[in-house]
């Protein structure tokens, strides 16, 4: 009896057959995706730690979009506070704290589904909220707006 469909019946005792090509390809793809993910995450942390950041005050007329790319449920207030942090930006440690506050706030909101949503939302803001992506919800997006306003005045 062979464990692998491509195992050669004539192989000697004690020899383990090599993984079939499709299994090896899937493992390599998963490993590559994991390495790319961790490389992006670590490069973001290094870049944010090395920045000399001047914080930006959140204007009084600022309007949050709520939970960017997520439905606004009973945790919308958590997202609004998180957006204020992201508007101003700061160090990598400040971003980590802001994302952790969002996670805790969403998780503690009423409803069993929020215990599932909180880690998904945390992962989303950690991966897609990086300062070097050209998104309107990235870390420190208000600094860019403040620079544009200074140039026009």
Other C-beta atoms within 10 Å of 117: how many?
A: 19
Whether residue 4 contacts residue 19, with contact meaning beta carbons closer than 8 Å, is answered with yes
Confidence of residue 54 (pLDDT cuts 50, 70, 90): very low
Whether residue 87 contacts residue 142, with contact meaning beta carbons closer than 8 Å, is answered with yes
Could you state, in order of their start, the residue ranges of all structural domains in the chain? 65-153
To the nearest whole number, what is the mean pLDDT of the chain?
A: 76
Whether residue 78 contacts residue 109, with contact meaning beta carbons closer than 8 Å, is answered with yes
Across the range 56-80, mean pLDDT stands at 86
Dihedral (Cα; 38, 40, 42, 48), 10-degree rounding: -160
pLDDT of amino acid 16: 53
Short-list 90, 111, 52, CA closest to 98:
90
């Amino acid at each position: 009896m062979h464990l692998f469909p491509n195992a050669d019946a004539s192989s000697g005792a004690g020899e383990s057959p090599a993984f079939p090509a499709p299994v090896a390809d899937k493992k390599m793809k998963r490993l590559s995706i994991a390495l790319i993910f961790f490389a992006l995450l670590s490069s973001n942390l290094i870049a944010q730690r090395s920045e000399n950041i001047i914080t930006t005050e959140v204007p009084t007329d600022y309007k949050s979009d709520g939970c960017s790319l997520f439905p606004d449920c009973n945790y919308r207030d958590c997202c609004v506070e998180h957006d204020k942090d992201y508007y101003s930006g700061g160090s990598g440690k400040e971003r980590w704290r802001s994302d952790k506050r969002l996670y805790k706030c969403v998780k503690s909101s009423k409803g069993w589904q929020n215990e599932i949503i909180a880690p998904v939302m945390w992962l989303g803001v950690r991966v897609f909220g990086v300062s070097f992506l050209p998104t309107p919800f990235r870390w420190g997006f208000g600094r860019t707006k403040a620079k544009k306003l200074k140039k026009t005045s």
